[in-house]
Structure 1
Amino acid sequence: MVLIEQLLTKDEVRTFRKHLDQVPWLDGKGTAMGMAAAVKNNAQADTNDEMVRQLTNLLLAKYGENPKLVSAVLPHKIFPPCFNRYAQGETYGFHVDAAIMRLPNSADVLRSDMSMTLFLSEPDEYEGGELVIQTEFGEQRVKPQAGDAVTYPSSSLHRVTPVTKGARIAAITWMQSLVADTHVREILFELDQNIQQLLQNESISREQLDSLHHVYHNLIRKHTSV
């Protein structure tokens, strides 16, 4: 699980929220697959609305430009983000995201390796509404600042706790990674983050950095599946 702070700036969040206040919202059960529909109770912005499409494309561009997101996921395909809203009393029980998803208006499919929630509401705007992810280290509860995003394996059980006051607005997406193995992907992320830190250290020689880059990229070549 990786927290990506300020994937959107506060100004960008305000712009998104302003537009989302004006778009049509539908029952979220219409997009749930399999058993997930039985535990889903929220609203989802109408993906056929032109403004929603524009906001989706803006987010896709932001995702592709974010170095930490690219490092953590190594995305090959990204499902167009969906905007959801949880009002008072709404929730999403424990579920696992579908393994295979058909990309909208396409014959192409995506294997969901990583899921991501981008928070568009400040934590003090709503009560409850925590993203709860089951991991090998126990349950992780997430309720970050607006503009922050969290990525986590799509294979994990996760839920959104009931909202008891206010409204929780977020964007969710799923990504197929170039590296299918979760453990290998975690190692590559840790290696890349350390390389990025070393780049700021003037005492590290260019030869040392080149050597680490050599290892990193050859590991990607070894484990990439496209």
Structure 2
Amino acid sequence: MLLRIPELLNAEEVSVCRELLLQQPWQDGHLTAGHIAAQVKTNHQLPRDNMIAQQIGQLILDKLGRSSMFMAAALPLKVLPPLFNRYENGTAYGNHIDNAIFTMPNADMKVRSDVSTTVFLSEPDEYEGGELVISTAYGENRVKLAAGDAIVYPANSLHRVEPVTQGVRLGAFFWTQSLVASSEQRQILYDLDGSIQKVLATDAHSEAARSLSGVYHNLLRMWSQT
């Protein structure tokens, strides 16, 4: 599933976040890459302990908690705090697959990366290149969204960020451990939830919606990893 969440952050929030982020001391992205990923990663990132990054990350998490689209698609169990990257002057991130397991900061807790999310913090016309390219069974999807929009996709997808040849591309990225590990099963649940909502929109007392809701929760109960 590739899901665009429009306006996760509004224009004012994006403007404030960008102004603060551009003032921070960025570090070489190699420092947070694994051995293989480091060979194709040339961007810059903010350290996880950067206070501004933590504050903006919390804003993003708060917004996600109120996003019905994200909750329905990701079915989150654990969400890692967002990290922030910066691309400019030809920097890029070549083809890679994200690590399967991460450690929650300041906690002895492992997080399985089922779902990846990128939040765009620069407008598409402010930089050249920089597309997030996600490979699927149906080919490559090139993603370059408006500032404040987010893209949600399976963490086991091969993906890359094209070189940014002009301007600056800022973004946030993070991973979610889902209640349902299988991306195919999450897709079925998301589609079923959407159908239920459509039925309820036309008939709030629909017997069919109640029946479909029972099927949804029985599938979630069957597939849940908790």
The TM-score normalised by the length of structure 1 is 0.96
Write out the 4+ residue segments of structure 1 that deviate beyond 6 Å after TM superposition: none
Percent identity (aligned): 49
Supply the distance in 1 between the matched residues of 2:139 and 2:46 (Cα, whole angstroms). 32
In structure 1, the gaps of 5 or more residues are none
In the alignment, what sits opposite 1:185?
Answer: 186
In the alignment, what sits opposite 1:208?
Answer: 208
**Alpha-carbon contact 1:23-1:46 (below 8 Å) kept:** no
Supply the distance in 1 between the matched residues of 2:41 and 2:109 (Cα, whole angstroms). 26
Correspondence 1:73 to 2:74: yes
In structure 2, the gaps of 5 or more residues are none
Q: How big is each residue's C-alpha offset from its partner over 1:107-131, in whole Å with a ceiling of 9 and x where there is no partner?
A: 1111111111110110000000000
Residue 158 of structure 2 aligns with an amino acid whose one-letter code is: L
Q: Secondary structure at the match of 2:201?
A: coil
Supply the distance in 2 between the matched residues of 1:40 and 1:79 (Cα, whole angstroms). 21
Supply the distance in 2 between the matched residues of 1:33 and 1:153 (Cα, whole angstroms). 19
Q: How big is each residue's C-alpha offset from its partner over 1:93-147, in whole Å with a ceiling of 9 and x where there is no partner?
A: 0001001111112211111111111101100000000000110001111001111
Residue 41 of structure 1 aligns with an amino acid whose one-letter code is: T
Supply the distance in 2 between the matched residues of 1:186 and 1:22 (Cα, whole angstroms). 39
In the alignment, what sits opposite 1:18?
Answer: 19
- Map 1:61-210; keep pairs closer than 5 Å: 61-202=62-203, 205-210=205-210
**Alpha-carbon contact 2:28-2:44 (below 8 Å) kept:** yes
Supply the distance in 1 between the matched residues of 2:121 and 2:75 (Cα, whole angstroms). 24
Supply the distance in 2 between the matched residues of 1:71 and 1:141 (Cα, whole angstroms). 23
In the alignment, what sits opposite 1:222?
Answer: 222
Q: Secondary structure at the match of 1:72?
A: helix
The TM-score normalised by the length of structure 2 is 0.96
Count of paired positions: 225
Structure 1 position 46, deviation (Å): 2.5
RMSD: 1.2
Supply the distance in 2 between the matched residues of 1:146 and 1:212 (Cα, whole angstroms). 36
Supply the distance in 2 between the matched residues of 1:34 and 1:52 (Cα, whole angstroms). 25
